[in-house]
Amino acid sequence: MSKVSITKRWLVNNLGVSAAVVFFVAVLLSVLIRGYYYGSAKQYVNAKMNTLISMLQGSYQDSPTGFASEVKSMVESFPDRNKAELMAIGSDGKIKLTSSGFVPEYTLGLQDYKDAVASGNTGFYMGRSESGEGIMAVTAITPSRWGEFSAIRLVTSLDELNRTVAFYVIIVWLAAFAIIMFMLLSGLYFIKSIAIPVRQIGQTARRFAKGDFSVRIAKKNDDEIGELCDIINHMAEELAAAEAMKNEFISSVSHELRTPLTAIKGWAETLDGMTDDPAAMSKGMKVISSETERLSQMVEELLDFSRIQNGRFTLVKATMDVLAELGDAVLIYAEKARKEDIELVYDEPEMLPFISGDKNRIRQVFINVIDNAIKYSDKGGLVSIQAGETDDGFVEIDVSDTGCGISPADLPKIKTKFYKANHTRRGSGIGLAVADEIISMHGGTLDIISEQGVGTTVIIRLPIEKNEG
C-alpha cells in the first residue's frame, strides 16, 4: 500500500512536472526549428526577387526597347537554378518562360499570383503547387511598359526543406522521449529502493508488535534506510533482551516469594495442635517471623522499584551521620555472617562529616550492598567495610568481599534492573538498581570493581553537606 502511494506521489509531483517541462521544451524547439528553416527560405526568395527586380529596373533604364530580351536572357541564364526556378509570366496568367526550360501548360491560379495581381505589387505563397509539390513562391508584377511579361515569379521547392525540418523535429522528440524514459526508469528504480525496504520494515515491525522478536531486516545499502534497518534490528535485540529479563524477573520473584511461604506454611502446619514441645514451637515461630520479615522486605523492595520506575520515589532529607546507618547495617548482618562462617570486618572511623540525606534510604543501600557481599561469598570468606573522607569533599564507603566476583561481560549490566549475573543465589536482581538510584538521587556515585573468582568492591561516595555555619 505504501509503495503505491509513494510511487504515485512521485509520478504526479515529480515526474509529471518534469515531463511537462520536457514536453514544453520539445514543442518550443519544434516550432523554432520550423520557424528558422521556413523563415530563412522566405527571406531567400524575397531577397532574390528584390535583386532581380532592381537588376531589371536598372537594365530597363539603360535600354527600354530591348527590355523583353533582357528578361528572357535573365530567366534563361538564372544562376541559382538548383535552388529555385525563375518564371516569366504573360498578362493572361500563362507561364511564358522558365529557367528550367520546361514551360507548363496551366494558367496560374495560386495565391502569390492572385495577390500580386490584386495589389499590383508582389504576392507570396507557401503550400502545394498545381502538381502537388510543396513550394514557396513569390510573384512580382512588372509595370505594363515592360512589355509582354506582366510578372516574374520565383518558385522554390520545399520538399528538401520539409525533410530537413522533419528530421530535426523527430530528433527533438526522440530526445524528449528518451529523457522522459530515463527519468521514469531511474526514478522507479530509486523509488523501489525506498519503497521495498520501507514495506519490509513495516512487516517486521508488525511482527515485533505481535511479540515475535526473532525476525531481522536484511540491510541492503549503507544509506539512511540501511541505518534505519540497523536501528530497528538493534531495537529488536534490546526488546528481546528486555522481554527475556522480564520473564526471568517474574520467575525469580515468584521463586523468592515461594521459598519463605513454603517455610511458613510448613511450620504453621507442624505447629497446629502442638502444645507439648515449647522448644520446637519457639523455633517454628522464629522461622515464621523471620520469613515473614523477609517477605515484607521483598515486597518493600519491589514497591520501591516500582516507585522509581514511575517517578514517585522521594527522599526525606535531613542532616545525617553516615556512620550511624553504616553501623546499624553492619550490626544487622553480624549474626548472619557468623552463621555462614564469613568474617565481617568493619574499621569504624572516629567520626565523619555529616551529609544531607534520607537515613532510611542510605541504610537500605548499605544493607543491600552488605547483603550482596555476604550472599555472593562462600564459607571462610572475608567481607571488609571501610569508611573515610576524600579530598574532593565526599564521604566514601567501600564494601569489599572475597566472593565469586563478576565477569567483565556482566559488570556493566549488573546495576540495571532485573539483571542477575549469578543464578545460583537467591535474589530478584533489583537491589543494586534501587541502591544506585538512591545514591545518585543524593548526588553521589556507586561504582563496582570486580574480578571474577577474586572478589568485588563496591565504592559508594556521598557529597559532604556544605557547612554554612
Ligand X SMILES: Nc1ncnc2c1ncn2[C@@H]1O[C@H](COP(=O)(O)OP(=O)(O)OP(=O)(O)O)[C@@H](O)[C@H]1O
Q: Which is nearer to Mg ion, 268 or 299 (CB)?
A: 299
CB of 414 to ligand X, least distance (A): 4
Residues 418-437 that bind Mg ion (CB under 5 A): 431
Burial environment of residue 332 by CB neighbours within 10 A (0 to 12, 13 to 18, 19 or more): middle
Indicate left, alpha or beta for 211 from its phi (over 0: left) and psi (-120 to 50: alpha): left
- 431-441 and 278-309 are packed helices; what angle lies between their axes, rounded to 10 degrees? 60
- Which among 171-179, 222-230, 319-327, 402-410 is the span making contact with ligand X, rule CB under 6 A? 402-410
Using CB distances below 5 to 8 A depending on partner kind, what does residue 284 bind out of Mg ion, ligand X, none? none
Residue 123 within binding range of Mg ion, rule CB under 5 A: no
137's CB contacts (< 8 A; 6+ apart) are 45, 110, 112, 124, 125, 126, 129, 153, 154, 155, 156
Write out the DSSP string of 69-137.
Answer: HHHHHHHHT-TTTTT-EEEEEETTSBEEEETTS----SBP-SHHHHHHHHHTSEEEEEEE-TTS-EEEE
3 state DSSP class of 460? strand
In one-letter notation, the amino acid at residue 115 is D
* 197 near ligand X, rule: CB under 6 A: no
Q: Which of 18, 407, 422, 445 binds ligand X (CB under 6 A)?
A: 422
Stretch that binds Mg ion, among 178-186, 305-313, 372-380, 447-455 (CB under 5 A): 372-380
Strand order across the beta sheet in which 122-128 lies: 95-98, 85-90, 149-157, 134-141, 122-128
Shortest separation between residue 376's beta carbon and Mg ion, angstroms: 8
State the minimum distance, in angstroms, from the CB of residue 431 to Mg ion. 3
Per-residue interface string for the shown chain with ligand X, residues 310-349, x marking contact by CB under 6 A = ----------------------------------------
**Per rule CB under 6 A, is residue 429 in the interface with ligand X?**
yes
d(CA 83, CA 45): 10
Per CB under 5 A, does 372 bind Mg ion?
yes
What is the spatial distance between Cα 327 and Cα 217, in angstroms, rounded to a whole number? 55
- For CA atoms 398, 399, 404, 406, the dihedral sign is negative
Least CB distance from residue 256 to ligand X, whole Å? Answer: 7
Least distance to ligand X, CB of residue 449, Å: 10
Q: Indicate which of ligand X, Mg ion, none lies near residue 123 (CB less than 5 to 8 Å, by partner kind).
A: none
Q: Which position among 147, 197, 260, 427 is part of the footprint of ligand X (CB under 6 A)? A: 427
> Rule CB under 6 A: is residue 456 a binding residue for ligand X?
yes
- Regarding 406 and contact with ligand X (CB under 6 A), the answer is yes
Q: Which three cell numbers stand for residue 442?
A: 543524593
364 binds Mg ion (CB under 5 A): no
Dist CA 319 CA 199 (whole Å): 59
Q: What does each C-alpha distance from 27 to 88, 162, 163 come to in angstroms?
A: 40, 17, 18
Does 259 help bind ligand X (rule: CB under 6 A)? Answer: no
DSSP string computed for 149-177: EEEEEEEEE-HHHHHHHHHHHHHHHHHHH
Site residue total, ligand X (CB under 6 A):
22
SS3 347: strand
Residue of 403, 444, 461, 462 that binds ligand X (CB under 6 A): 403
State the binding partner of 373 from Mg ion, ligand X, none, CB within 5 to 8 A by kind: ligand X
Task: Say which entry of ligand X, Mg ion, none residue 70 contacts (CB below 5 to 8 A, set by partner kind).
Answer: none
Q: Which residue is nearest to ligand X (CB)?
A: 431
Indicate which of ligand X, Mg ion, none lies near residue 322 (CB less than 5 to 8 Å, by partner kind).
none
CA distance 366 to 360: 10
Residue 204 binds which one of ligand X, Mg ion, none, with CB within 5 to 8 A depending on kind? none
Count of residues that bind Mg ion according to CB under 5 A: 2
Contact call for residue 308 and ligand X (CB under 6 A):
no
Q: Which is nearer to ligand X, 204 or 402 (CB)?
A: 402
C-alpha cell at 126: 507557401
Distance, CA of 304 to CA of 204 (rounded, Å): 36
Residues that bind Mg ion (CB under 5 A): 372, 431
Q: Which residues bind ligand X (CB under 6 A)?
A: 368, 372-373, 376, 401, 403-406, 414, 419-422, 427-433, 456
